[in-house]
Amino acid sequence: MNIGKVIQPTPGRGIVIAGPCSAETEGQVMQCAKDLAKLGQVDLFRSGIWKPRTRPGSFEGVGKEGLSWLKRVKEETGLRTTTEVANASHVYDCLKAGIDVLWIGARTTVNPFSVQEVADALNGTDIPVLIKNPINPDLGLWQGAVERIYKAGITRIGLIHRGFSYHGETTYRNVPRWQLAIEMNRLFPDLQMIVDNSHICGRRDTLLEVAQEALNLNYDGLMTEVHPRPDEAWSDAAQQITPAVFGELLQNLRLRKPTVSEIEMEKLTELRRQIDEIDTELIGMIGRRMKLADAIGEFKAERNIAVLQSDRWEAILHTAAEKGKKHGLSPEFMKQYLQAIHQESIDHQDAIVNRRN
């Protein structure tokens, strides 16, 4: 792929995209834009014009009318603008209004039909497009969205990592699953990667932590929801902050060096060598564990015992969580790790039982 940059980064800092979750009134949009412009660090002013909501009755955006407000933002503050599109009509309206960058939201990325409709509407244009990860942790959907937009002739494409839905207790609104974003970056190394810390966190107090983690992982920048009066926001109030607080967040962020010196590399190489040794040992141990699972499968098949023993599984989860905690491993990690191991064991045993029968 011949991919160009959506935004040319300013030397010495990451890309900054900020603005309210939703454009509510012209006054709200203009106040936020003017306050953000004073920071002198915002590359794109974001605001939702059309808001896909889970259930009817929620605020679904002001619609086309809000595009004129974004046009005024650009004229009076000099900030370039971006908004979300989910269908061909949205694309046409944004192109007419002179929106600088479009983004495809998580609820659209998850539907190839919708992505293709947007791609068809974009055909023949050269507007940059940012693509959020799908709601569910499906790398193929994210990859497919990029490919559809690229085939439409768009060559300035970027990625927005906004986290993934998760059923269960978690400190995040959408769990980051950093490894999935890292893998996406490996598949498309030329695409800029932006973290949407607002949607990952779902709350204000962890925005800095998640933004810093992204910069530590060499992300290109962040997209944060900023509102002049967050508590009064018509959508996602809990995760928005004021322009002043956002300015403080930017000041507290630390950019990491993308490269290391020769001496630093020697140290990193040694630490990585040790990790590689441990990984080799772990793979060998997991392999031996699966052989034991095979033996259990043979035992169950001979005696017509059910493969899944729920009580045993619950006991493993509880015990492992306690053991993991002692080694600084989060309960969420332990659960994901054990679920993967357990599923592989079940698959082994199923294959044995099916073969014996």
Q: Please give the chain's pLDDT, 357 residues, in tens.
A: 889 999 998 888 899 999 999 999 999 999 999 999 999 999 999 999 998 877 787 788 899 999 999 999 999 999 999 999 999 999 999 999 999 999 999 999 999 999 999 999 999 999 999 999 999 999 999 999 999 999 999 999 999 999 999 877 788 999 999 999 999 999 999 999 999 999 999 999 999 999 999 999 999 999 999 999 999 999 999 999 999 999 999 999 988 766 667 777 788 888 888 999 899 999 999 999 999 989 988 888 888 887 777 777 788 888 888 888 889 998 888 888 888 888 898 888 888 878 876
Do the beta carbons of residue 66 and residue 32 sit within 8 Å?
no
Q: How far apart are CA 223 and CA 42, in angstroms?
A: 10
What pLDDT does residue 113 have?
98
Cβ-proximal residues to 8 (8 Å cutoff; 6+ apart), any chain: none
The architecture in CATH of the region 15-252 reads Alpha-Beta Barrel (3.20)
Calculate ∠ Cα 9-93-193, nearest 5°: 25
Helices 139-151 and 112-122, packing angle to 10 deg: 20
- Single pTM value for the model: 0.80
pLDDT in tens, 12-37: 889 999 999 999 999 999 999 999 99
Do the beta carbons of residue 201 and residue 210 sit within 8 Å?
yes
> Would you mind telling me the total number of residues written for the chain in this entry?
357
**What residue spans define the domains of the chain?**
15-252, 262-356
Q: According to CATH, what is the number of the domain 262-356?
A: 1.20.59.10
pLDDT in tens, 52-78: 877 787 788 899 999 999 999 999 999
